[in-house]
Structure 1
């Protein structure tokens, strides 16, 4: 279960009173909170490695909330974004959600609605980070495959039988079994389907992957 105490809720809003009010509400809800009065301050000071979410106003001097979201997308950020704005409209909300925003709430949002949205976003943040870590771990495992093991694993992933793989590569059946076993062990998989998924996740399912 996600421990919200390990998460950081960032709030970006140029309204100091709004920042103070939102921070108080979320801290009462058990969250660690960091506030910023501009998008630029957030970009300069935030630690992107910390799981949590971003509660974001849209209309701000300098960089707007929508522009900040676009910048985070460009940077490949996994941080879930919740818009909280008094100046939103349906096209803007649709654009924000299309870019990956978790929610678009209108000020003043009911406390229970806001807390629920933040809890949902924080949960997604932990899930995304876990998946990202798993991806990195899988890529590391796949990098340990020899060229021949990778070649055999790709054919296994295509559904070929050991004998068919041997005929295609011009190697003996015992050699196919040896490479297949080594590949399965290195990837931590047991089935052909799991091997295919592992190679796909590591970006190695096609010849262009390495």
Structure 2
């Protein structure tokens, strides 16, 4: 997994450099962007970390940057900074997924603590997502016929029902089911259900099409 990256998006260069130095002293990797457009243009938005985002900036406001990140499907947690914030603005930011809304000036230790909290949250999310992808890869490794059988099993159908639906002999269904279970590492329908839940796979999932 990539090392967490903290993106500071703030047109106040002096403040950003101060925060960056503080975070780097604590062992974090930091990148500073002077405005929203350059951040959105240059950053990959990949890997764990967070975005420390100022509200009032030239070009795009922090809320506009947040809206664009949301549109792009970014999962990076956002810490908003503002010297001109209000309750309505903070509520809007949090409702749209911001981790927190901090008012400038921010106490350095409070800032570091908040960053640490959201980066930890990002890392945990990345680990969970990676685990889910590995489980989904198991389903992706099934043959088309095995996927058909597993989809039917997830729908609660018995072997005889699956055989009728797919136009197969019951013995053939049992063979495909056994092969699929072996590939997935499960031994029963209940274990399959649990694995599918952990992988985020349903009977309607495109993986089983």
Same fold (TM over 0.5): yes
Which piece of structure 1 moves more, 177-186 or 100-109?
Answer: 177-186
Residue of structure 2 equivalent to 1:206: 204
Cα–Cα, structure 1 residues 97 and 167, in superposed 2: closer, same or farther, change >3 Å? same
User: Are 1:54 and 1:81, in contact at CA under 8 Å, matched by a contact in 2?
Assistant: yes
Uncovered stretches (5+) of structure 1, i.e. residues with no partner:
none
CA distance in 2, matches of 1:133, 1:188: 18
* 2:179 aligned to which of 175, 178, 182: 182
Residue of structure 2 equivalent to 1:149: 146
CA distance in 2, matches of 1:68, 1:207: 32
User: Are 2:155 and 2:203, in contact at CA under 8 Å, matched by a contact in 1?
Assistant: no
User: Aligned pair 1:121/2:99, yes or no?
Assistant: no
User: Are 2:53 and 2:80, in contact at CA under 8 Å, matched by a contact in 1?
Assistant: yes
CA distance in 1, matches of 2:84, 2:190: 49
- What's the C-alpha RMSD, in Å, of the aligned pairs? 2.7
CA distance in 1, matches of 2:68, 2:183: 38
CA distance in 2, matches of 1:125, 1:75: 17
CA deviation map 1:160-208 (0-9, x unaligned): 3334434554534432222112222333434424434555646551276
1:52-71 alignment to 2 at 5 Å? 52-71=49-68
CA deviation map 1:129-184 (0-9, x unaligned): 23333344344332332332222212221233334434554534432222112222
Residue of structure 1 equivalent to 2:103: 106
User: Are 2:5 and 2:50, in contact at CA under 8 Å, matched by a contact in 1?
Assistant: yes
CA distance in 2, matches of 1:100, 1:63: 18
Which piece of structure 1 moves more, 172-181 or 115-124?
Answer: 172-181
User: Are 1:154 and 1:196, in contact at CA under 8 Å, matched by a contact in 2?
Assistant: no
CA distance in 2, matches of 1:11, 1:53: 9
CA distance in 2, matches of 1:126, 1:112: 21
1:1-210 alignment to 2 at 5 Å? 6-196=3-193, 198-199=195-196, 201=199, 205-206=203-204, 210=209
Q: TM-score, normalised by structure 2?
A: 0.84
Uncovered stretches (5+) of structure 2, i.e. residues with no partner:
none
CA deviation map 1:9-53 (0-9, x unaligned): 111111112112211221222211111111112122223234211
The alignment partner of 1:6 has SS state of coil
